[in-house]
Amino acid sequence: MAASLLLVPSTSVFANPPTSAAQGGMYHRFQDFDWVKYTQQTLDDLKGKLNLKPEQMAAWDTWATGVMADANQHQEKAKAERDESVSMKRASMNETTPERMAREIERLRKQTKWMEAHLERMDAALVRTKTFYEVLDAEQKTIFDLFWTVVHHRLYGNDRWQMPMHMFRPRMMEGDQDEKSKQ
């Protein structure tokens, strides 16, 4: 999961990120982002850069299958959050303050449960990544490490690993802001 959550669109994707001109704002610009499609594209890009040997393919397949499973889970969760957000906005207009507070407490409890499950997925992803990493030669390890550093810099503009991904929306590249965000 660590890698899958970091597996994000390659350079070409951020050169032309999905936008929704009617809604504006970064959250809205990425709400319909197809994490599965771009995770696959990023995996394909990485696989080409690594120039894997035949004896490394089984480890790659195991690792990449886990990454894609994580990307699918991430996309499903993001869709559920968008759907829930829309219904919650409508419901909150007609609720009393105690009802809104109770709903927020329940949302936080759900989020806490999700974060616990997320940590378990991250642990499993770490094991998968270490297992794959061990079959790489020194040059491939350098490529793998640099690949993820570049991907992360592109997203966040720094070296920190910011998790969970759903809480941190990718930073837009300079010059890629909508008119509202420039004001």
Query: How many Å apart are CA 180 and CA 96, to the nearest integer?
Result: 32
Query: How many Å apart are CA 37 and CA 75, to the nearest integer?
Result: 10
Sign of the CA dihedral 48, 51, 57, 60? negative
Identify the pLDDT of residue 30: 56
Is 127 in a helix, a strand, or coil?
Answer: helix
Query: How many Å apart are CA 106 and CA 34, to the nearest integer?
Result: 28
Query: How many Å apart are CA 120 and CA 47, to the nearest integer?
Result: 26
Helices and strands in the chain: count of H runs, count of E runs: 8, 0
- Considering only residues 23 and 140, tell me which one the structure prediction assigns the higher pLDDT: 140
- Checking if the pLDDT of 45 tops 90, the result is yes
> What beta strand segments (E) does the chain contain?
none
Per-residue pLDDT tens for 105-133? 998 999 999 899 989 999 999 999 999 99
Query: How many Å apart are CA 71 and CA 158, to the nearest integer?
Result: 22
Given its phi and psi angles, is residue 43 left (phi above 0), alpha (psi -120 to 50 degrees) or beta? Answer: alpha
Query: How many Å apart are CA 3 and CA 64, to the nearest integer?
Result: 9
Task: Please state the pTM of the whole predicted model.
Answer: 0.63
Average pLDDT in the chain: 74
- Considering only residues 143 and 77, tell me which one the structure prediction assigns the higher pLDDT: 143
Q: What percent of the chain has pLDDT over 90?
A: 38
Identify the pLDDT of residue 7: 47
